[in-house]
Amino acid sequence: MGDEKPCPGWALPPGGAVASARWARIFCRLPLASLVLPIDRMPCPPASPVRVRRRSEAAREALRARLVDTAMRLFREGGERAVSMRLLAREVGISTMALYTYFPTKAHLMHHIWTDVLRLACVRGEEAAAASPCDWSRLDACLQGFLTYWMDHPDHLREILRAWQADGDGQGPPTWFHAQCVQLDQLLRPLSSPRDEEVRMAECRDQILTQMLGAQMLLLVHAQAPRATRQRLIENTTRTALASLRARMNPEGAAGA
């Protein structure tokens, strides 16, 4: 082997074959860790940017409206028990995790449903009041239209009353009942005099709300009664509510009468 010549292009280190063998022995005795480059010093290929799909604000609002509409359809078909977060996500075509970014819990979703149901009842009242000639008859027609909606949808009424009991804090109506309060304020404002205080107006509104709530409970109790019977119940309720409201707004006139 001493007569072998190195391959072309190779050059022996200084000292010839003896020096080369010495370096080989030293190299073999080095620990393996010293021959491996640490991971934190290894060159890494540049990471490609992660593309995150984000919806525009308009697209988010459109999807939120679709979610509420679909939830309302499920509610109409089977009540609150039929509104499942997993089923709703599947109906709309999104993942359940994506649904939770719009409604963190089912309670948040149901609040939107209660608001929408109440809006439908208020619209019925507004349509009934639109043809009334004066302020008092407008209030009477609105209350009758409001109660008529619940007479026509006892399943909605049952769920709304259950939600009121669950969400009420004993200090007033739930937050999702705000639309009815605003509607009553708008109807009561023309009936009041400039000297009426806000506290007095709030008392009048709460009085009507209490009477409407009692009428709703009676409608639910008599849900199987003939429609004419329930319609008379609505008319008697609104007549009594307006009489007590007149007495509260004009105590001098009531006393004189």
Instruction: Please give the CATH topology (third level) of the domain spanning 56-104.
Output: Arc Repressor Mutant, subunit A (1.10.10)
Domain ranges of the chain: 56-104, 111-251
| pLDDT value at residue 27 | 52
pLDDT tens, position by position, 147-165: 999 999 888 888 888 888 7
Least confident window among 49-53, 98-102, 197-201, 218-222:
49-53
Question: 3-state DSSP call for residue 70?
Answer: helix
| pLDDT value at residue 107 | 84
Identify whether the C-beta of residue 156 lies closer than 8 Å to the C-beta of residue 150.
yes
Token output for 252: 């001098």
Give 25's pLDDT tier (boundaries 50, 70, 90): low
pLDDT tens, position by position, 32-84: 545 554 545 555 555 554 444 566 888 888 888 899 889 988 888 887 888 89
pTM score, whole prediction: 0.66
Name, in order, each residue with C-beta under 8 angstroms of 201's C-beta and a sequence gap of 6 or more.
185, 188, 189, 192
What 96-105 contacts at long range (C-beta under 8 Å, 24+ apart), as own/partner pairs, is 99/67, 102/60, 102/63, 102/64, 102/67, 103/67
pLDDT at residue 169 is higher than 80? no
Which of these CATH numbers, 1.10.357, 1.10.3470, 3.30.70, 1.10.3210, describes 111-251?
1.10.357
Q: How many CB atoms lie within 10 A of CB 188?
A: 19
| pLDDT value at residue 68 | 86
